[in-house]
Amino acid sequence: MRHYLFNFYIALDSVLANKLRSVLTALGIIFGVAAVIAMMAIGSGAQQEILEQIELVGVNNIVITPIVEQEEGEVEEDENSKSGDKNFSMGLTLYDAQSIAEIIPDVKLVSPEVVIETSIIKDGRRRSGKLVGINNSYFAIANFPLAEGRLFNQEQLARGAAVCVIGKGVASKFFSQENPIGKKLKVGAHWLKVIGVLEQRYVSEKNIADLGIRNFNMDVYAPLATVLLRYKNRALVTETAIKQALREDDDGGEKKSANYHQIDRMTVQVAATASLTSVAEVIAKMLKRRHFSTIDYEITIPELLLKQQQRTKSIFNFVLGAIAGISLLVGGIGIMNIMLASVMERIKEIGLRLSIGAKKLDIIAQFLMEAVMISVTGGIIGILLGVTIAYSVSVLADIPTIISAYSVIVSFGVAATVGLIFGIAPARKAASQDPIISLRHE
Protein backbone atom coordinates (compact mmCIF):
# COMPACT_ATOMS: atom_id res chain seq x y z
CA MET A 1 0.00 0.00 0.00
CA ARG A 2 2.88 2.37 0.82
CA HIS A 3 4.35 1.61 -2.59
CA TYR A 4 1.11 2.61 -4.35
CA LEU A 5 0.77 5.73 -2.21
CA PHE A 6 4.28 6.79 -3.23
CA ASN A 7 3.33 6.46 -6.92
CA PHE A 8 0.15 8.40 -6.22
CA TYR A 9 2.06 11.30 -4.63
CA ILE A 10 4.43 11.44 -7.58
CA ALA A 11 1.47 11.54 -9.98
CA LEU A 12 -0.20 14.26 -7.89
CA ASP A 13 3.00 16.36 -7.85
CA SER A 14 3.25 16.02 -11.62
CA VAL A 15 -0.37 17.15 -12.13
CA LEU A 16 0.05 20.12 -9.76
CA ALA A 17 3.38 21.10 -11.29
CA ASN A 18 1.77 21.37 -14.73
CA LYS A 19 -1.56 23.02 -13.87
CA LEU A 20 -2.20 24.54 -17.31
CA ARG A 21 -1.48 21.29 -19.12
CA SER A 22 -3.66 19.37 -16.66
CA VAL A 23 -6.54 21.79 -17.10
CA LEU A 24 -6.28 21.61 -20.89
CA THR A 25 -6.18 17.82 -20.66
CA ALA A 26 -9.27 17.78 -18.47
CA LEU A 27 -11.27 20.16 -20.70
CA GLY A 28 -12.45 17.33 -22.93
CA ILE A 29 -13.80 15.40 -19.96
CA ILE A 30 -15.26 18.54 -18.33
CA PHE A 31 -17.28 19.53 -21.37
CA GLY A 32 -18.04 15.93 -22.25
CA VAL A 33 -19.55 15.17 -18.84
CA ALA A 34 -21.28 18.56 -18.71
CA ALA A 35 -22.80 17.93 -22.15
CA VAL A 36 -23.94 14.47 -21.13
CA ILE A 37 -25.65 15.65 -17.94
CA ALA A 38 -27.19 18.75 -19.53
CA MET A 39 -28.42 16.92 -22.62
CA MET A 40 -29.77 14.01 -20.59
CA ALA A 41 -31.56 16.45 -18.27
CA ILE A 42 -33.08 18.35 -21.19
CA GLY A 43 -33.85 15.13 -23.07
CA SER A 44 -35.43 13.49 -20.01
CA GLY A 45 -37.55 16.58 -19.41
CA ALA A 46 -38.66 16.67 -23.05
CA GLN A 47 -39.31 12.90 -22.99
CA GLN A 48 -41.45 13.17 -19.88
CA GLU A 49 -43.37 16.12 -21.34
CA ILE A 50 -44.04 14.27 -24.60
CA LEU A 51 -45.08 11.09 -22.81
CA GLU A 52 -47.38 13.11 -20.55
CA GLN A 53 -48.97 14.67 -23.62
CA ILE A 54 -49.42 11.20 -25.13
CA GLU A 55 -51.00 9.99 -21.90
CA LEU A 56 -53.33 13.01 -21.89
CA VAL A 57 -54.52 11.99 -25.34
CA GLY A 58 -55.54 8.69 -23.80
CA VAL A 59 -52.74 6.15 -23.70
CA ASN A 60 -53.88 5.02 -20.22
CA ASN A 61 -57.55 4.94 -21.16
CA ILE A 62 -59.78 2.01 -22.03
CA VAL A 63 -62.83 3.06 -24.04
CA ILE A 64 -66.00 0.97 -23.85
CA THR A 65 -68.73 1.71 -26.39
CA PRO A 66 -72.12 0.01 -26.89
CA ILE A 67 -73.05 -2.22 -29.80
CA VAL A 68 -76.72 -2.14 -30.72
CA GLU A 69 -76.57 -5.31 -32.81
CA GLN A 70 -75.92 -8.02 -30.22
CA GLU A 71 -73.52 -10.89 -30.69
CA GLU A 72 -73.99 -14.05 -28.71
CA GLY A 73 -71.09 -15.44 -26.73
CA GLU A 74 -70.53 -19.09 -25.91
CA VAL A 75 -72.66 -20.10 -22.94
CA GLU A 76 -73.59 -23.38 -21.36
CA GLU A 77 -77.25 -24.20 -21.78
CA ASP A 78 -79.14 -25.34 -18.73
CA GLU A 79 -82.13 -27.67 -18.69
CA ASN A 80 -84.64 -24.82 -19.02
CA SER A 81 -82.91 -23.07 -21.91
CA LYS A 82 -84.17 -23.65 -25.43
CA SER A 83 -82.13 -23.83 -28.57
CA GLY A 84 -82.02 -20.47 -30.30
CA ASP A 85 -83.04 -18.43 -27.24
CA LYS A 86 -81.10 -15.23 -26.78
CA ASN A 87 -79.77 -14.02 -23.49
CA PHE A 88 -81.13 -10.76 -22.15
CA SER A 89 -78.79 -7.83 -21.54
CA MET A 90 -79.61 -4.44 -20.07
CA GLY A 91 -76.76 -2.95 -22.09
CA LEU A 92 -74.11 -0.61 -20.71
CA THR A 93 -75.41 0.95 -17.52
CA LEU A 94 -74.23 3.07 -14.62
CA TYR A 95 -74.02 -0.11 -12.55
CA ASP A 96 -71.35 -1.41 -14.92
CA ALA A 97 -69.31 1.76 -14.37
CA GLN A 98 -69.74 1.57 -10.59
CA SER A 99 -68.70 -2.08 -10.53
CA ILE A 100 -65.56 -1.42 -12.54
CA ALA A 101 -64.59 1.49 -10.27
CA GLU A 102 -65.22 -0.43 -7.04
CA ILE A 103 -63.89 -3.90 -7.87
CA ILE A 104 -60.79 -3.48 -10.06
CA PRO A 105 -57.89 -2.05 -7.99
CA ASP A 106 -55.76 -0.70 -10.87
CA VAL A 107 -58.59 1.51 -12.16
CA LYS A 108 -57.95 5.17 -11.39
CA LEU A 109 -61.03 6.90 -12.81
CA VAL A 110 -64.23 5.88 -14.58
CA SER A 111 -66.21 8.32 -16.71
CA PRO A 112 -69.60 7.22 -18.11
CA GLU A 113 -71.14 9.51 -20.74
CA VAL A 114 -74.54 10.06 -22.29
CA VAL A 115 -74.57 12.19 -25.45
CA ILE A 116 -77.79 13.73 -26.75
CA GLU A 117 -78.21 15.65 -29.99
CA THR A 118 -80.23 18.71 -29.11
CA SER A 119 -80.55 22.44 -29.65
CA ILE A 120 -79.15 25.40 -27.71
CA ILE A 121 -81.25 28.56 -27.49
CA LYS A 122 -80.72 31.98 -25.92
CA ASP A 123 -82.18 35.40 -26.76
CA GLY A 124 -83.64 34.21 -30.05
CA ARG A 125 -80.39 32.62 -31.22
CA ARG A 126 -80.52 28.91 -31.88
CA ARG A 127 -77.87 26.39 -32.72
CA SER A 128 -77.71 22.59 -32.83
CA GLY A 129 -75.34 21.06 -30.36
CA LYS A 130 -74.64 18.17 -28.02
CA LEU A 131 -75.63 17.79 -24.40
CA VAL A 132 -73.15 15.50 -22.66
CA GLY A 133 -74.06 13.90 -19.35
CA ILE A 134 -70.92 13.25 -17.30
CA ASN A 135 -69.37 13.24 -13.85
CA ASN A 136 -66.33 15.27 -12.79
CA SER A 137 -63.96 12.44 -13.71
CA TYR A 138 -64.56 13.30 -17.36
CA PHE A 139 -62.68 16.60 -17.08
CA ALA A 140 -59.67 14.92 -15.43
CA ILE A 141 -59.52 12.11 -18.00
CA ALA A 142 -59.98 14.45 -20.97
CA ASN A 143 -57.56 17.05 -19.53
CA PHE A 144 -60.23 19.69 -19.88
CA PRO A 145 -59.53 22.45 -17.30
CA LEU A 146 -61.88 25.27 -16.36
CA ALA A 147 -61.32 28.80 -17.62
CA GLU A 148 -63.75 30.28 -15.08
CA GLY A 149 -66.44 29.19 -12.67
CA ARG A 150 -66.51 25.78 -11.00
CA LEU A 151 -67.34 22.13 -11.62
CA PHE A 152 -70.35 20.26 -10.27
CA ASN A 153 -70.55 19.63 -6.53
CA GLN A 154 -71.68 16.34 -5.00
CA GLU A 155 -75.24 17.53 -4.37
CA GLN A 156 -75.68 18.64 -8.00
CA LEU A 157 -74.28 15.34 -9.26
CA ALA A 158 -76.50 13.26 -6.98
CA ARG A 159 -79.81 15.15 -7.32
CA GLY A 160 -79.61 16.00 -11.02
CA ALA A 161 -79.60 19.78 -10.64
CA ALA A 162 -80.40 21.97 -13.66
CA VAL A 163 -76.84 23.23 -14.08
CA CYS A 164 -74.23 22.96 -16.81
CA VAL A 165 -70.64 23.69 -17.78
CA ILE A 166 -70.21 25.00 -21.32
CA GLY A 167 -67.42 24.94 -23.86
CA LYS A 168 -65.60 28.08 -24.90
CA GLY A 169 -67.32 28.08 -28.28
CA VAL A 170 -70.78 28.08 -26.65
CA ALA A 171 -69.71 30.95 -24.40
CA SER A 172 -68.45 32.97 -27.37
CA LYS A 173 -71.59 32.24 -29.40
CA PHE A 174 -74.27 33.00 -26.82
CA PHE A 175 -72.51 35.17 -24.22
CA SER A 176 -70.21 37.32 -26.33
CA GLN A 177 -71.14 40.54 -24.47
CA GLU A 178 -71.60 39.22 -20.95
CA ASN A 179 -70.19 36.88 -18.34
CA PRO A 180 -71.99 33.53 -18.72
CA ILE A 181 -71.50 32.45 -15.08
CA GLY A 182 -74.89 32.43 -13.35
CA LYS A 183 -76.85 32.95 -16.58
CA LYS A 184 -79.33 30.42 -18.00
CA LEU A 185 -79.24 28.63 -21.32
CA LYS A 186 -82.07 26.62 -22.86
CA VAL A 187 -80.77 23.21 -23.84
CA GLY A 188 -83.46 21.15 -25.50
CA ALA A 189 -86.64 21.47 -23.46
CA HIS A 190 -85.01 22.63 -20.22
CA TRP A 191 -83.21 25.72 -18.93
CA LEU A 192 -79.82 25.05 -17.38
CA LYS A 193 -77.81 27.44 -15.23
CA VAL A 194 -74.21 27.96 -16.35
CA ILE A 195 -71.76 27.44 -13.48
CA GLY A 196 -68.49 27.06 -15.41
CA VAL A 197 -66.75 27.68 -18.73
CA LEU A 198 -64.04 25.35 -20.03
CA GLU A 199 -60.79 26.50 -21.59
CA GLN A 200 -60.50 26.66 -25.35
CA ARG A 201 -59.52 23.31 -26.82
CA TYR A 202 -57.82 23.54 -30.17
CA VAL A 203 -58.99 20.77 -32.46
CA SER A 204 -58.24 21.15 -36.16
CA GLU A 205 -60.90 20.51 -38.78
CA LYS A 206 -58.69 17.70 -40.15
CA ASN A 207 -58.65 15.90 -36.78
CA ILE A 208 -62.41 16.37 -36.44
CA ALA A 209 -62.91 14.76 -39.84
CA ASP A 210 -60.18 12.10 -39.82
CA LEU A 211 -60.25 10.98 -36.19
CA GLY A 212 -63.96 11.38 -35.55
CA ILE A 213 -63.31 13.91 -32.78
CA ARG A 214 -66.22 16.23 -32.08
CA ASN A 215 -65.81 19.93 -31.49
CA PHE A 216 -65.68 19.92 -27.68
CA ASN A 217 -65.85 23.72 -27.55
CA MET A 218 -69.49 23.63 -28.77
CA ASP A 219 -70.71 21.05 -26.23
CA VAL A 220 -72.79 21.60 -23.11
CA TYR A 221 -71.90 19.41 -20.12
CA ALA A 222 -74.42 18.54 -17.41
CA PRO A 223 -74.38 16.08 -14.51
CA LEU A 224 -75.16 12.56 -15.67
CA ALA A 225 -78.13 12.35 -13.29
CA THR A 226 -79.53 15.56 -14.81
CA VAL A 227 -79.48 14.12 -18.31
CA LEU A 228 -80.99 10.81 -17.21
CA LEU A 229 -83.74 12.41 -15.11
CA ARG A 230 -84.67 15.39 -17.27
CA TYR A 231 -83.85 14.30 -20.82
CA LYS A 232 -83.46 10.62 -21.70
CA ASN A 233 -82.86 7.40 -19.81
CA ARG A 234 -82.89 4.41 -22.15
CA ALA A 235 -82.80 2.01 -19.20
CA LEU A 236 -86.43 2.91 -18.42
CA VAL A 237 -89.41 1.54 -20.33
CA THR A 238 -91.43 4.60 -21.38
CA GLU A 239 -94.79 5.00 -23.06
CA THR A 240 -93.11 6.59 -26.08
CA ALA A 241 -90.77 3.61 -26.50
CA ILE A 242 -93.69 1.16 -26.29
CA LYS A 243 -95.69 3.08 -28.89
CA GLN A 244 -92.70 3.23 -31.20
CA ALA A 245 -92.15 -0.54 -30.89
CA LEU A 246 -95.84 -1.24 -31.60
CA ARG A 247 -95.75 1.08 -34.61
CA GLU A 248 -92.76 -0.78 -36.02
CA ASP A 249 -94.57 -4.11 -35.54
CA ASP A 250 -97.69 -2.82 -37.28
CA ASP A 251 -95.68 -1.54 -40.25
CA GLY A 252 -94.46 -5.04 -40.94
CA GLY A 253 -91.20 -3.77 -42.43
CA GLU A 254 -87.66 -4.57 -41.42
CA LYS A 255 -87.28 -3.72 -37.80
CA LYS A 256 -84.42 -1.41 -36.88
CA SER A 257 -82.35 -2.15 -33.84
CA ALA A 258 -83.00 0.42 -31.12
CA ASN A 259 -80.28 1.69 -28.84
CA TYR A 260 -81.20 0.26 -25.44
CA HIS A 261 -77.94 1.16 -23.66
CA GLN A 262 -78.25 3.57 -20.77
CA ILE A 263 -74.87 5.18 -21.47
CA ASP A 264 -73.24 5.94 -24.80
CA ARG A 265 -69.60 5.64 -23.79
CA MET A 266 -67.46 4.71 -20.82
CA THR A 267 -63.83 5.70 -20.38
CA VAL A 268 -61.74 3.83 -17.82
CA GLN A 269 -58.42 5.37 -16.86
CA VAL A 270 -55.80 2.90 -15.61
CA ALA A 271 -53.20 3.95 -13.06
CA ALA A 272 -50.23 2.47 -14.97
CA THR A 273 -49.73 1.78 -18.66
CA ALA A 274 -48.16 -1.61 -17.90
CA SER A 275 -51.43 -2.93 -16.46
CA LEU A 276 -53.59 -1.65 -19.32
CA THR A 277 -53.99 -4.98 -21.11
CA SER A 278 -54.64 -7.00 -17.96
CA VAL A 279 -57.26 -4.52 -16.74
CA ALA A 280 -58.97 -4.65 -20.15
CA GLU A 281 -59.14 -8.44 -19.89
CA VAL A 282 -60.68 -8.26 -16.41
CA ILE A 283 -63.23 -5.68 -17.62
CA ALA A 284 -64.14 -7.92 -20.57
CA LYS A 285 -64.77 -10.90 -18.26
CA MET A 286 -66.75 -8.77 -15.81
CA LEU A 287 -68.98 -7.27 -18.52
CA LYS A 288 -69.51 -10.68 -20.12
CA ARG A 289 -70.79 -12.03 -16.82
CA ARG A 290 -72.94 -8.97 -16.08
CA HIS A 291 -74.42 -9.00 -19.60
CA PHE A 292 -75.10 -12.76 -19.48
CA SER A 293 -72.56 -13.53 -22.21
CA THR A 294 -74.19 -11.08 -24.63
CA ILE A 295 -71.46 -9.19 -26.45
CA ASP A 296 -73.22 -5.84 -26.87
CA TYR A 297 -70.19 -3.70 -26.14
CA GLU A 298 -66.77 -3.01 -27.61
CA ILE A 299 -63.59 -2.54 -25.60
CA THR A 300 -60.90 -0.43 -27.27
CA ILE A 301 -57.29 -0.08 -26.15
CA PRO A 302 -55.24 2.72 -27.76
CA GLU A 303 -52.60 0.38 -29.22
CA LEU A 304 -51.21 2.98 -31.61
CA LEU A 305 -50.62 5.40 -28.75
CA LEU A 306 -48.97 2.65 -26.72
CA LYS A 307 -46.66 1.84 -29.63
CA GLN A 308 -45.88 5.53 -30.09
CA GLN A 309 -45.07 5.83 -26.39
CA GLN A 310 -42.68 2.89 -26.53
CA ARG A 311 -41.08 4.20 -29.73
CA THR A 312 -40.62 7.64 -28.17
CA LYS A 313 -38.84 6.10 -25.20
CA SER A 314 -36.57 4.05 -27.47
CA ILE A 315 -35.68 7.05 -29.64
CA PHE A 316 -34.81 9.23 -26.66
CA ASN A 317 -32.72 6.50 -25.05
CA PHE A 318 -30.82 5.94 -28.30
CA VAL A 319 -30.19 9.66 -28.88
CA LEU A 320 -29.07 10.30 -25.31
CA GLY A 321 -26.81 7.24 -25.37
CA ALA A 322 -25.22 8.39 -28.61
CA ILE A 323 -24.62 11.90 -27.23
CA ALA A 324 -23.05 10.49 -24.07
CA GLY A 325 -20.83 8.08 -26.00
CA ILE A 326 -19.56 10.66 -28.52
CA SER A 327 -18.92 13.35 -25.88
CA LEU A 328 -16.93 11.09 -23.60
CA LEU A 329 -15.09 9.48 -26.51
CA VAL A 330 -13.87 12.91 -27.60
CA GLY A 331 -12.80 13.63 -24.02
CA GLY A 332 -10.94 10.31 -23.79
CA ILE A 333 -9.09 10.91 -27.05
CA GLY A 334 -8.08 14.31 -25.72
CA ILE A 335 -6.64 12.74 -22.59
CA MET A 336 -4.70 10.17 -24.60
CA ASN A 337 -3.25 12.79 -26.96
CA ILE A 338 -2.14 15.12 -24.17
CA MET A 339 -0.71 12.26 -22.13
CA LEU A 340 1.25 10.95 -25.13
CA ALA A 341 2.68 14.44 -25.61
CA SER A 342 3.46 14.53 -21.90
CA VAL A 343 5.42 11.28 -22.20
CA MET A 344 7.58 12.78 -24.93
CA GLU A 345 8.22 15.85 -22.79
CA ARG A 346 9.15 13.82 -19.69
CA ILE A 347 11.42 11.16 -21.19
CA LYS A 348 14.37 12.33 -19.04
CA GLU A 349 12.26 12.13 -15.87
CA ILE A 350 11.15 8.62 -16.81
CA GLY A 351 14.76 7.55 -17.45
CA LEU A 352 15.83 8.98 -14.10
CA ARG A 353 13.16 7.01 -12.21
CA LEU A 354 14.04 3.81 -14.03
CA SER A 355 17.77 4.28 -13.37
CA ILE A 356 17.32 4.61 -9.61
CA GLY A 357 15.34 1.38 -9.32
CA ALA A 358 11.75 2.12 -10.36
CA LYS A 359 10.06 -0.76 -12.14
CA LYS A 360 8.08 -0.54 -15.34
CA LEU A 361 4.90 -1.22 -13.34
CA ASP A 362 5.71 1.88 -11.24
CA ILE A 363 5.92 4.04 -14.38
CA ILE A 364 2.67 2.55 -15.70
CA ALA A 365 0.97 3.16 -12.32
CA GLN A 366 2.22 6.77 -12.24
CA PHE A 367 0.88 7.70 -15.68
CA LEU A 368 -2.37 5.78 -15.18
CA MET A 369 -2.93 7.60 -11.87
CA GLU A 370 -2.28 10.92 -13.60
CA ALA A 371 -4.83 10.13 -16.32
CA VAL A 372 -7.45 8.91 -13.85
CA MET A 373 -6.80 11.87 -11.54
CA ILE A 374 -7.28 14.33 -14.38
CA SER A 375 -10.40 12.57 -15.68
CA VAL A 376 -11.99 12.27 -12.22
CA THR A 377 -11.31 15.93 -11.45
CA GLY A 378 -12.67 16.85 -14.86
CA GLY A 379 -15.70 14.65 -14.18
CA ILE A 380 -16.47 16.45 -10.90
CA ILE A 381 -16.15 19.87 -12.55
CA GLY A 382 -18.19 18.61 -15.49
CA ILE A 383 -20.98 17.46 -13.18
CA LEU A 384 -21.17 20.89 -11.54
CA LEU A 385 -21.10 22.60 -14.93
CA GLY A 386 -23.73 20.24 -16.38
CA VAL A 387 -26.10 20.78 -13.45
CA THR A 388 -25.64 24.55 -13.79
CA ILE A 389 -26.36 24.45 -17.53
CA ALA A 390 -29.46 22.29 -17.04
CA TYR A 391 -30.79 24.59 -14.32
CA SER A 392 -30.07 27.70 -16.41
CA VAL A 393 -31.87 26.24 -19.43
CA SER A 394 -34.86 25.39 -17.25
CA VAL A 395 -35.05 28.91 -15.80
CA LEU A 396 -34.12 31.05 -18.81
CA ALA A 397 -35.66 29.08 -21.69
CA ASP A 398 -38.64 27.67 -19.70
CA ILE A 399 -37.76 24.14 -20.87
CA PRO A 400 -38.38 21.32 -18.38
CA THR A 401 -35.20 19.53 -17.28
CA ILE A 402 -34.80 16.45 -15.10
CA ILE A 403 -31.39 15.82 -13.51
CA SER A 404 -31.33 12.22 -12.41
CA ALA A 405 -28.88 10.66 -9.98
CA TYR A 406 -28.40 7.92 -12.56
CA SER A 407 -26.98 10.34 -15.16
CA VAL A 408 -24.61 11.90 -12.61
CA ILE A 409 -23.31 8.53 -11.35
CA VAL A 410 -22.93 7.12 -14.85
CA SER A 411 -21.13 10.25 -16.11
CA PHE A 412 -18.71 10.21 -13.19
CA GLY A 413 -18.07 6.48 -13.53
CA VAL A 414 -17.54 6.72 -17.28
CA ALA A 415 -15.20 9.70 -16.81
CA ALA A 416 -13.00 7.66 -14.47
CA THR A 417 -13.14 4.65 -16.81
CA VAL A 418 -12.25 6.78 -19.82
CA GLY A 419 -9.20 8.13 -17.98
CA LEU A 420 -8.13 4.60 -17.13
CA ILE A 421 -8.66 3.17 -20.62
CA PHE A 422 -7.18 6.04 -22.58
CA GLY A 423 -4.30 6.36 -20.13
CA ILE A 424 -3.06 2.81 -20.76
CA ALA A 425 -1.36 3.56 -24.11
CA PRO A 426 0.64 6.58 -22.83
CA ALA A 427 1.54 4.68 -19.64
CA ARG A 428 2.86 1.66 -21.56
CA LYS A 429 4.78 3.94 -23.91
CA ALA A 430 6.39 5.66 -20.92
CA ALA A 431 7.33 2.33 -19.30
CA SER A 432 8.88 1.00 -22.52
CA GLN A 433 11.54 3.74 -22.62
CA ASP A 434 15.20 2.68 -22.39
CA PRO A 435 16.71 4.29 -19.25
CA ILE A 436 20.09 5.08 -20.88
CA ILE A 437 18.57 6.62 -23.99
CA SER A 438 16.10 8.50 -21.81
CA LEU A 439 18.85 10.03 -19.68
CA ARG A 440 20.66 11.26 -22.82
CA HIS A 441 17.46 12.80 -24.21
CA GLU A 442 17.44 16.58 -24.49
User: What pLDDT does residue 258 have?
Assistant: 72
Question: Residue 185 pairs with which residues in a beta bridge?
Answer: 192
Helix (H, G, I), strand (E, B) or coil at 223: strand
> Where are the chain's structural domains?
2-53+308-440, 90-290
**Cβ count near 130 (within 10 Å):** 18
Residue 272 gets which letter from DSSP?
-
Whether the per-residue pLDDT at 170 is higher than 80: the answer is yes
Strands (E), 183-318: 184-187, 190-198, 219-223, 265-270, 294-300
Q: Which helix (H) or strand (E) holds 132?
A: strand 125-134
Distance of CA 133 to the CA centre of its chain: 28
User: What pLDDT does residue 210 have?
Assistant: 43
> Which pLDDT tens digit goes with each residue over 278-305?
898 999 999 999 988 888 888 887 765 6
Helix (H, G, I), strand (E, B) or coil at 25: helix
Quick one: which of 432, 96, 149, 111 has its CA closest to 287? 96
User: 19-33, 158-172, 347-361, 387-401 — which is least confidently predicted?
Assistant: 347-361
> Which pLDDT tens digit goes with each residue over 303-361?
656 666 667 666 766 776 677 677 777 777 777 777 777 666 666 676 777 777 777 77
Q: Exposed, middle or buried, 365 (CB in 10 Å: 0-12/13-18/19+)?
A: buried
**Residue 199 identity:** E
Answer whether 394's CB lies under 8 Å from 401's CB.
yes
How far apart are alpha carbons 151 and 147 in whole angstroms?
11
Q: Which helix (H) or strand (E) holds 206?
A: helix 205-210
**Residue 207 identity:** N
Helix (H, G, I), strand (E, B) or coil at 263: coil
User: What pLDDT does residue 317 have?
Assistant: 66
**Cβ count near 147 (within 10 Å):** 12
Looking at residues 403-413, what average pLDDT do you find? 81
> Which pLDDT tens digit goes with each residue over 48-82?
766 665 555 566 788 898 987 654 444 444 444 44
Quick one: which of 61, 54, 62 has its CA closest to 316? 54
> Which pLDDT tens digit goes with each residue over 175-220?
988 899 999 999 999 999 999 999 887 655 544 444 445 667 889 9
Whether the per-residue pLDDT at 221 is higher than 90: the answer is yes
pTM score of the predicted model: 0.56
| Cα three-residue angle 55-58-63, rounded to 5 degrees | 150
Looking at residues 160-183, what average pLDDT do you find? 91
